[in-house]
């Protein structure tokens, strides 16, 4: 669908948190890339490292405790891990917009919404107050907040959760970034507003050629807007595939389990909601074996021995499993020096 | 906000009346006799006369009402007279001190400047150094700056002022001879030299009190900053590409100042109350010292009036703190 130039290329990213209980290996050698105009959906259980991965890209994790242990984050060819604070500041909010997960706490309670939208406009685009204000009103209008220019003077607490999330989106879009990272941006919204936001994002993607990372728990949303999907488990990417392939032909046991948890509207009514049994691992060390094996219905002896690297099973479809579920037979045991 | 302020001001009138009654009752019930400290050779009849001349003969409620009238009517009128040269208060009875027989308010007016220059200055300096220290300590949590700041704050807060005061006197007055150990109230500042003298004699008491105040407020500032530095909106500000200076001094500071401003406002009445111990150590005859001597001398009108003035200030600055809170935090609405 999108084959513009590569905007983002993340290689082998590893993030560790130093805690009193020891190191938490939250993100383990995550690699993915993104082309201009492409929308990458990111799914995975709570705690699988989706937010931490994306915040690490922009150096937004508090350090300590967070540490980027290894890896590269190439944004338009420039490594954000090593480029330095000054450069990073010029990119954040300007070339890359970020929408955070929690709209209730992500806005500063003592400044007006207008001030907070105008900040990046004035800093990055050098707009004067009047022009920044006009643009801020446009942005609020764009994300569907009625009576936008009057509401610029309101404070966050005067907005509902969904409206705050839209304000966050307006801030992220303010400077027309090349890349938008949206962390569960529509979770707090009702279905109609959600549809509006999705429509808006689709438009912007087309008109600006913006690349988008869209984190969500809602597989329905992913099916509707994503080009490709990245499935995360225990800080690792376990499957990466074009959206159609992922839903039609999931190859990783975890992905299959995840898809099975979605209640179908059309199918026969399930007696109870499916859930994946067991708990995700604690991540106290770099995974030496497959992290999903303890919960996996298909686990075999080889799963506890080595951590399988991601490998292509079809064009553009990669899976980190010793098996290939499509054919449901063990793949040859891999050379795991990489894992 | 205005209606809120007015309503609160009106509401504070019954509150203050109740407080004044309670103070009056407590002093009434307290043992002690204003003539007790007079020589034993005075015969009992004379003693009774003296007591009557002090107004102690009248029943309780009469004395209370007379005091109220004097406090709320005569004294303000008198102040007006002094200001405008009018003659409204002519002949009405002012509140007189048992000890000196001079009007209580005149004595207070005499003592207030000492207290305000020393204690007020110490409060101001304390706040001014506490805020930046609190900010840096929080921003560089666990750095050597923060560790030293914590240590000094602990010392400043936990070591009593009579100890730090005496310590400073021993070091800087006795051994080094840099500063006088006694505050000379009679010093008139009218030249450069006398100004320097005034600064020198203020240095030690102000330092003692400023350390104490700064220790407390810097801890507050630090805690409040730390609270806010870890909020989500700080991450949002960074994600927008704002510089650290903007993040800290605009986004975090504005939020952190809200509780600190409240605490600072609530501490202001304490300035007027004087710092009883420090004033004693350095012989600053301010309001704190005045209250102590009045209590020792069973000078009921003086104690009553001073205590009530403190009560008014506390009620007033509670209101000021609330109003400031409302101004700084848009989430607070008082209507
Ligand atoms: N400050 C921190 N200190 C220690 N561990 C952390 C910290 N922040 C995150 N983690 C750990 O990192 C892991 C990944 O967390 P992350 O927030 O990325 O999950 P997520 O996939 O975004 O989940 P959700 O869907 O609930 O948002 C979790 O196991 C979490 O415990
Ligand atoms: Mg998350």
Q: pLDDT tens digits for A16-26?
A: 999 898 899 99
Average pLDDT over residues B154-170: 87
Bridge partners, A240 (sequence order): A230, A318
**Can you give the pLDDT at residue A52?**
95
Q: Is residue B100 part of a domain?
A: no
Residues B173 and B311 in one domain: yes
Residues B79 and B113 in one domain: no
CATH code for the domain in which residue B126 is found: 1.10.3720.10
Q: What is the ipTM of this complex?
A: 0.87
Average pLDDT over residues A154-169: 90
Residue nearest to atom 22 of ligand 1 (CA): A51
Which residues, chain by chain, have CB under 5 Å from ion ligand 2? A 51, 101
Report the number of distinct structural domains present in chain B.
2
- Could you report the per-residue pLDDT of A84-138, keeping only the tens digit for each? 899 999 999 999 999 998 888 999 999 999 999 999 999 999 999 999 999 999 9
Q: Is the CB of A50 under 6 A from ligand 1?
A: yes
User: What does the alpha-carbon distance between residue A257 and residue A41 come to, in Å, rounded to a whole number?
Assistant: 18
pLDDT > 60? residue A328: no
Asked if A107 reaches chain B (Cβ–Cβ under 8 Å), the answer is yes
Which ligand gives the minimal distance to the CA of A25?
A: 1
Candidate from B236, B241, B243 with C-beta closest to A106: B236
Q: What percent of chain B has pLDDT over 90?
A: 29
User: Average model confidence (pLDDT) for chain B?
Assistant: 86
Residues B133 and B242 in one domain: yes
pLDDT > 70? residue A323: yes
**Can you give the pLDDT at residue B174?**
86
**Can you give the pLDDT at residue A336?**
40
Residues B71 and B124 in one domain: no
User: What does the alpha-carbon distance between residue B247 and residue A156 come to, in Å, rounded to a whole number?
Assistant: 18
For residue A282, give the DSSP letter.
-
Cβ(B168)–Cβ(B208) below 8 Å? yes
Which residues in chain B are closer than 8 Å to A100, comparing Cβ atoms? Answer: 232, 235-236, 239
Which of A26, A188, A279 to mutate for ligand 1's pocket (most ligand atoms within 8 Å of CB)? A26
Residue of A nearest to B240 (CA): A93
Average pLDDT over residues A176-196: 84
Residues B285 and B170 in one domain: yes
Alpha-carbon gap: A54 to the closest alpha carbon of chain B (Å): 11
Please give the residue that has the higher pLDDT: either B223 or B174. Answer: B223
Residues spanned by the domain of B247? 109-328
- Assign A334 a pLDDT band (cuts: 50, 70, 90): very low
* Domain residue spans of chain A: 1-95+176-339, 109-174
Asked if B142 reaches chain A (Cβ–Cβ under 8 Å), the answer is no
pLDDT > 90? residue B104: no
Q: Is the CB of A51 under 6 A from ligand 1?
A: yes
**Can you give the pLDDT at residue A264?**
59
- Assign A338 a pLDDT band (cuts: 50, 70, 90): very low
Q: Is the CB of A41 under 6 A from ligand 1?
A: no
Q: Is the CB of A26 under 6 A from ligand 1?
A: yes
For residue A301, give the DSSP letter.
G
Q: Give the residue from B164, B161, B138, B160 showing the smallest Cα distance to B149.
A: B138
Q: Which CATH superfamily is domain A1-95+176-339 in?
A: P-loop containing nucleotide triphosphate hydrolases (3.40.50.300)
- Could you report the per-residue pLDDT of B109-157, keeping only the tens digit for each? 888 888 888 888 999 999 999 999 999 999 998 899 999 999 999 988 8
Which of A16, A48, A100, A101 to mutate for ligand 1's pocket (most ligand atoms within 8 Å of CB)? A48
pTM assigned to the model: 0.83
User: B255 and A109 in contact by Cβ < 8 A?
Assistant: yes
Distance of CA B261 to the CA centre of its chain: 16
Residues B137 and B183 in one domain: yes
Please give the residue that has the higher pLDDT: either A1 or B176. Answer: B176
Residues B152 and B267 in one domain: yes
Task: A272-276: list long-range contacts, CB under 8 Å, 24+ apart.
Answer: A276/A45
Residues B17 and B142 in one domain: no
Q: Which of A279-283, A321-325, B117-121 has the highest mean pLDDT?
A: B117-121
The total of other beta-carbon atoms located within 10 Å of residue B193's CB is 9
């Amino acid at each position: 669908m999108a084959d513009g130039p590569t905007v983002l290329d993340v290689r082998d990213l590893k993030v560790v948190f130093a805690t009193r209980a020891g190191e938490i290996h939250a993100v383990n050698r995550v690699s993915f890339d993104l082309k201009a105009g492409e929308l990458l959906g990111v799914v995975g259980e709570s705690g699988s490292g989706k937010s931490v991965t994306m915040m690490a890209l922009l150096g937004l994790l508090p350090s300590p405790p967070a540490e980027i242990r290894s890896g590269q984050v190439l944004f338009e060819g420039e490594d954000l891990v090593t480029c330095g604070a000054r450069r990073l500041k010029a990119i954040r909010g300007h070339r890359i917009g970020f929408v955070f997960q929690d709209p209730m706490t992500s806005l500063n309670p003592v400044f007006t919404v207008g001030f907070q939208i105008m900040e990046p406009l004035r800093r990055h685009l050098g707009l004067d107050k009047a022009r920044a204000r006009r643009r801020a009103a446009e942005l609020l209008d764009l994300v569907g907040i009625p009576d936008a220019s009057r509401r610029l003077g309101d404070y966050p607490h005067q907005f509902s959760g969904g409206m705050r999330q839209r304000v966050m989106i307006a801030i992220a879009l303010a400077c027309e970034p090349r890349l938008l990272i949206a962390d569960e941006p529509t979770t707090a919204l009702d279905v109609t507003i959600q549809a509006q936001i999705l429509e808006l994002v689709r438009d912007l993607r087309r008109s600006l050629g913006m690349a988008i990372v869209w984190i969500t728990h809602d597989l329905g949303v992913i099916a509707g807007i994503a080009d490709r999907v990245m499935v995360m488990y225990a800080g690792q990417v376990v499957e990466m595939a074009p959206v159609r392939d992922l839903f039609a032909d999931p190859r990783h046991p975890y992905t299959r389990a995840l898809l099975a948890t979605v209640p179908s509207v059309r199918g026969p009514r399930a007696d109870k909601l499916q859930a994946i049994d067991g708990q995700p691992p604690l991540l106290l060390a770099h995974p030496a074996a497959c992290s999903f094996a303890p919960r996996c219905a298909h686990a075999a002896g080889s799963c506890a021995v080595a951590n399988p690297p991601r490998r292509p099973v079809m064009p553009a479809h990669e899976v980190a499993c010793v098996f290939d579920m499509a054919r449901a037979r063990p793949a040859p045991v891999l050379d795991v020096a990489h894992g | 906000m205005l209606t809120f302020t007015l309503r609160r001001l009106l509401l504070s009138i019954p509150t203050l009346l109740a407080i004044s009654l309670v103070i009056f009752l407590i002093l009434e019930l307290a043992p002690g006799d204003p003539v007790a400290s007079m020589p034993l050779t005075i015969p009992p009849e004379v003693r009774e006369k003296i007591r009557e001349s002090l107004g102690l003969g009248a029943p309780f409620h009469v004395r209370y009402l007379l005091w109220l009238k004097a406090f709320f009517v005569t004294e303000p009128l008198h102040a007006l007279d002094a200001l405008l040269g009018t003659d409204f208060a002519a002949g009405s009875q002012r509140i007189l001190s048992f000890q000196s027989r001079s009007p209580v308010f005149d004595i207070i007016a005499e003592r207030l400047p000492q207290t305000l220059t020393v204690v007020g200055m110490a409060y101001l300096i304390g706040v001014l150094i506490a805020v930046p220290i609190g900010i840096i300590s929080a921003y560089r949590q666990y750095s050597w700056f923060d560790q030293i700041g914590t240590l000094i704050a602990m010392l400043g807060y936990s070591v009593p002022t009579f100890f730090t005061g005496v310590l400073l006197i021993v070091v800087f007055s006795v051994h080094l001879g840099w500063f006088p150990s006694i505050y000379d109230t009679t010093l008139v500042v009218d030249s450069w030299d006398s100004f320097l003298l005034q600064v020198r004699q203020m240095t030690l008491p102000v330092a003692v009190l400023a350390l104490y105040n700064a220790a407390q407020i810097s801890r507050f500032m630090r805690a409040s900053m730390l609270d806010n530095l870890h909020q989500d909106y700080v991450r949002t500000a960074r994600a927008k590409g704002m510089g650290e200076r903007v993040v800290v001094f605009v986004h975090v500071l504005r939020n952190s100042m809200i509780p600190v401003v409240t605490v600072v406002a609530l501490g202001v009445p304490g300035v007027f109350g004087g710092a009883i111990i420090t004033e004693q150590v350095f012989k600053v005859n301010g309001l704190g010292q005045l209250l102590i001597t009045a209590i020792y001398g069973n000078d009921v009108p003086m104690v009553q009036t001073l205590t009530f003035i403190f009560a008014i200030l506390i009620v007033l600055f509670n209101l000021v703190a609330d109003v400031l809170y409302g101004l700084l935090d848009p989430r607070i609405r008082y209507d």
